[in-house]
Amino acid sequence: MKHLLLKNIVCTAVALALAPFALADRIELTDGSVINGKLLSAEGGKLKVETAFAGTIEIAQASVKNFSTDEVVNVALAGGSQVLGKVEVTDAGIKVVANDGQMAAATANVAAVWRQGSDSPDSKKLKAEVEAKTRKWAYEASVAIAGRTGVSEKFGANLGFKATLASAQDKLIFNVAAEKARDTGVDTANRQFGSVDYSSYFSPDNGWYARTSIEKDTIKRVDLRSNTSFGFSRRLVKNKVQDLELRAGVNYLFESYAGIPAVPATLTTPFIAAVPGYSFDSPGLDLALLHTYNFTNSKMVNTLSFTPAFKNFSNYRLHHESSWEMPIGSSMWKLKLGVANDYNSTPPAGTEKLDTTYFTNLILSWQ
């Protein structure tokens, strides 16, 4: 009795599991094999079928001899005809039986099939185009803090915020950053930076950009550095894996440097004369390469820019930055590792031409 009851339960469970496929659509392949399941869609040369034995599978349309459905579906032919009805098999391929007639065609001439209530391929394409043109905000906040106390006192902090409004055609980026560090009572970093960058493409590969930035760096004696640029951009590479953009234009640079006060002589050190402050401004060239490479679970971003001044081409700035971003657990958190190099061909007295920064930032991103 118990064995009979168990057998009935198992049979009932199997019947319920296979119930959705009891009235199944039928797909016959050119090699004679038959697949029973639910035809979800056909587009782009592939049929998507939900089966009881292998879940959802895709079948190349070139391998399909014919197919039939137990429910009405939308069928579009390569010639542009479209009808809603049940699909039946014929000697020449298929026919779609509708309430007001029928339409016959070879299987190879079927351009698309989609279920009632689903979007047609044309509707999907239109929605994707509208979605791509819709601007969306994305935000990032970054922080890096390090410190030490005891034998020596050290503290360093780097804070940043970026807001991006982007679509498939254009992008607007607001960026602010601040860096502060002290070592045994002496400032080793004190920098504030802000920028606005806008780029727009008037064709798939060609566009234009405008950018402005302001900066103050006490350690480098920069009271104010303002750089505004405008020019044209071209996508050299654009695919799912990487994006390489070339920018070429003109800019206007203004720099104001703080002076150094005189240091009186002591018993052990000589007198050091004061160094006056000065300013520099000039139009110039603006050349840059922007590169992004997407790995499976991370991203690398590279930037290289060269800005010589028209007043004196030997007076130029060269900036390079490479960073690697990888997610941490939640998709909202990322770890950013990188290096940045700033080269000033004519730095103020007492400062180096090349300044290299290594950084590790924790980033919170949201939309």
Domains of the chain: 24-130 (no CATH), 134-366 (2.40.230.20)
pLDDT given for residue 275 in this prediction: 67
Instruction: Give per-residue burial for 107-145: e unless 16+ CB within 10 Å, then b.
Output: beebbbbbeeeeebbeeeeeeeeeeeeeeeeeebebebe
pLDDT given for residue 274 in this prediction: 58
Average pLDDT score over the chain: 88
Does this model's pTM top 0.75? My answer is no
Place of tokens 């727009």: 200
Q: Are 64 and 89 in contact (CB under 8 A)?
A: no
Place of tokens 């254009």: 170
pLDDT given for residue 153 in this prediction: 85
pLDDT given for residue 127 in this prediction: 85
Rounded to the nearest angstrom, the gap between the alpha carbon of residue 167 and the centroid of all alpha carbons in its chain is 11
Which stretches of the chain score pLDDT less than 70?
A: 1-23, 260, 262-263, 265, 271-275
pLDDT given for residue 273 in this prediction: 61
pLDDT given for residue 12 in this prediction: 44
pLDDT given for residue 263 in this prediction: 65
Cα distance between residue 342 and residue 359, in whole Å: 14
pLDDT given for residue 132 in this prediction: 73
User: 276 by DSSP, 3-state: which?
Assistant: coil
Q: Are 333 and 347 in contact (CB under 8 A)?
A: no
Q: What single letter denotes the amino acid at residue 32?
A: G
Helix (H) or strand (E) holding 6: helix 2-18
